[in-house]
Structure 1
């Protein structure tokens, strides 16, 4: 079976060479036009701020310098390279630069996926798959480090799946991809896990006489990849930092992207899963046991954590495309006249895209929605001299960008499970006494909260606190006197 895969890949790779260009250009233009949607995550603010600090100091952070609750405690930035790229894009082109960088990365990932799939599937089927992948991944296409790492993830996974289908061992030329991934985003740990998964597939596809050699080749590559993942300013620290995220326990349920999928309403993931299940039942799809385990593993990840949906979307087609093209003749790539793509033609396309980008960005003002909504509240907070602010979790990024020390922000691994849970319980007033204790323990002199927070209504009626600013997005209270000891007994 693996020999047939190889032959198809070699005979069809040039027949549709320009397809990746059309996909990439189309996705890029769409994301550029809808650029504000890429800036809807408030964590983008602190990502840029960290990148600017790294560029200014020519060093990476080892301790926290942005909060007053964890100031000086150990913290490393596992996405330092992506943050520097975002900071440089912002310094060069403002928010338009950030949008362009994000759009380029996302378009490159989809273009690379299309290029790999075109080796096995007809253009029409590739187009359908790419559209489905884009629909699943679009909610997660944000100006954050994981998007810059997407093209690296696709290149890494396609390299592993290709060699595993032939029953061979990976090339060491893949290792630079792991180095880049480890410096761009903490998701590189998943890339290491893929080595074991595809190693099983390679052993299954290899001839019996070669299996020991294949096992040795993959084991050697695995150790080399592990070493490559430590080629960062933090060394082993980057790899060990993943434990902090995985050890957040119940606190992960408070973060939207870490919550399990909600099937109470129809979503793109539900439609795709049901469609794939129906197709498998109708056509009798057959995969090798290792690839079945891969499909099940990717599906479980997508169901357990919403942030894994784009991983499922990008990698599932890579896992099943080759065996399905062999099993079903209708999915086999038919020979067609190759459309040559010279360097000159490619340069013309790139030039036209750059020209459109410059013209469109000049006529469009990109501003994150959260940046607009909190401008008044942050200015009021500075005018009143607030220093120790109890803030909502999702306000942290903007406060860091405004040089305001935060109580909490999106760096959840810095604060830990108990702190994050205590913060959420306090703002929801699950225990009023603990909320008042929190205000005293951290000497809070101001609160910046969402208008719907139960704590807002308590502060409105609490002696010693005064509402000084409010709008539809945030409410600012300032402490006027320390009267907590007088009121706590009656509230308890």
Structure 2
């Protein structure tokens, strides 16, 4: 949102960093600028509720794209909707109002046209759509390499090698139609090792069976495996390579599970189409699906639609009342910080730096005081990340990040071990607490500042008498 405000105010994309204190003036590529502009405009005009509407529309668009593309590919609306529902469930755990969610739409549509090219050949229409999709993708995220890899291998045919090369070139051409003229590729190559350097970030961790999307990934994989056992030569090797790479990539980095389930859904749709009336190719699963079709056909469509609409309305009303989840976003803590005009600089954690940027930014997207760290892994220097990681986890050398920032105020998550370390000394005084110990935020100030303003605050760890009590929300 902050970068989007900056772009709207300056009518250009940034080529240097303006918001992170450890990367100021260094070259930077705002590879998701198109989304940032859209989000910032919605926020400026409609506020938080506008962003909520945008998120709902994005969710509907993703779900529709899955259902439509899979239905067209497998030539069966029921199976397409079923696969689309499963893939949507596999993506749900990673869904939020971020560019990576919009990328799923680009990915499924790119694969849809790849399937059309494989079946009907390369046409002007399919060529144009591929260029447009990859152009939009390149202006939204740096993961176009995943799409280029998947589309190229999906259309690969030894007897149609020139067609494969042309498809790859068309996709590649689309990625250069950006304000940075393809510099996003350099950013992608530079970030290729980030999942391993930042393994402590949840989305960069390996998949495990306790994660809901992993269950969907395994279910789709079993469905595909049943078909391959019965008809091992019905799927091209190049398609199996795509599925295999995506599958193992998802196991290594949980963030890639949506890409894996999308490709698995595509392969399932393609296999269902190729099986024709021979449903035994799917074994008992094929029989179960046909029974499910028969069962759902008996349900009145009007009644089912009514149930879905009521469920959707209840869900929307619930989040509409509080569009920002204050349990995970330090809204009240930052409100207190701004109201009391606490001193800068502020020490914050990685996940909440973006929100702090947003609240501290001017109307033109600039900051009077840059943040210590934010959610952009391609901005924060590696040595700063290492220091932050020690601080956040309360490890040996936990004070290195604090020493590097030299803050006057600390905004920190209550569940972090460092919060307990700070509470057990009087160098930093706790003056505000929001939320719970499991999901809450603490505001600390230096002892000298607290001493100078002790009539305004009470600190539970510095033990200074005051007429007011600790503000707890």
TM-score tier (shorter): 0.7 to 0.9
State the 1:306 CA deviation. Answer: 1.6
Q: What is the rounded CA distance, in whole Å, between the counterparts of 2:423 and 2:28 in structure 1? A: 36
- Structure with the bigger RCO (C-alpha within 8 Å, sep 6+) is 1
CA 1:268–1:151 in 2, change beyond 3 Å: closer, same or farther? closer
**2:154 matched to 1:154?**
no
Q: What is the rounded CA distance, in whole Å, between the counterparts of 1:88 and 1:234 in structure 2? A: 22
State the 1:330 CA deviation. Answer: 5.2
State the 1:80 CA deviation. Answer: 0.3
* Equivalence map 1:450-461=2 (5 Å): 450-461=413-424
**2:10 matched to 1:54?**
no
Q: What is the rounded CA distance, in whole Å, between the counterparts of 1:59 and 1:113 in structure 2? A: 34
Q: What secondary structure sits across from 1:140 in the alignment?
A: coil
* Larger relative helix fraction: 1
CA 1:293–1:381 in 2, change beyond 3 Å: closer, same or farther? same
List runs of 5+ in structure 1 lacking aligned partners. 1-47, 204-210, 335-352, 483-492
Match of 2:179 in 1: 233
State the 1:73 CA deviation. Answer: 2.0
**2:238 matched to 1:290?**
yes
Q: What is the rounded CA distance, in whole Å, between the counterparts of 2:92 and 2:441 in structure 1? A: 28
After superposition, the C-alpha distances for 1:255-311 in whole angstroms (9 at most, x for unaligned) are: 211211112x36343255246426633771442212221221221122122221211
Q: 1:301 aligns with which of 237, 249, 258?
A: 249
State the 1:481 CA deviation. Answer: 4.7
Tell me how large the CA RMSD over aligned residues is: 3.1
Q: What secondary structure sits across from 1:367 in the alignment?
A: coil
Match of 1:101 in 2: 54
Match of 2:432 in 1: 469
Match of 1:406 in 2: 371
List runs of 5+ in structure 2 lacking aligned partners. 280-285, 291-308, 361-368, 450-473
* Equivalence map 1:21-420=2 (5 Å): 48-119=1-72, 120-166=74-120, 171-173=126-128, 174-200=130-156, 202-203=157-158, 211=159, 214-248=160-194, 250-263=196-209, 265=210, 267-274=212-219, 276-277=221-222, 280-281=225-226, 284-285=230-231, 286-329=234-277, 364-370=320-326, 374-382=330-338, 383-403=340-360, 405-420=370-385
Match of 1:29 in 2: none
Aligned residues: 401
Tell me if structure 1 keeps the 8 A contact 2:90–2:214.
yes
After superposition, the C-alpha distances for 1:76-106 in whole angstroms (9 at most, x for unaligned) are: 2110001111112222322222222233233
Tell me if structure 1 keeps the 8 A contact 2:392–2:417.
yes
After superposition, the C-alpha distances for 1:218-248 in whole angstroms (9 at most, x for unaligned) are: 2233234323211111113222111232132
Question: Normalized against structure 1, the TM-score is what?
Answer: 0.73
Tell me if structure 2 keeps the 8 A contact 1:466–1:478.
yes
Deviates more, 1:469-478 or 1:416-425: 416-425
Deviates more, 1:267-276 or 1:375-384: 267-276
Q: What is the rounded CA distance, in whole Å, between the counterparts of 2:195 and 2:248 in structure 1? A: 18
CA 1:278–1:364 in 2, change beyond 3 Å: closer, same or farther? closer
State the 1:141 CA deviation. Answer: 1.8
Q: What is the rounded CA distance, in whole Å, between the counterparts of 1:72 and 1:123 in structure 2? A: 53
Question: Normalized against structure 2, the TM-score is what?
Answer: 0.76
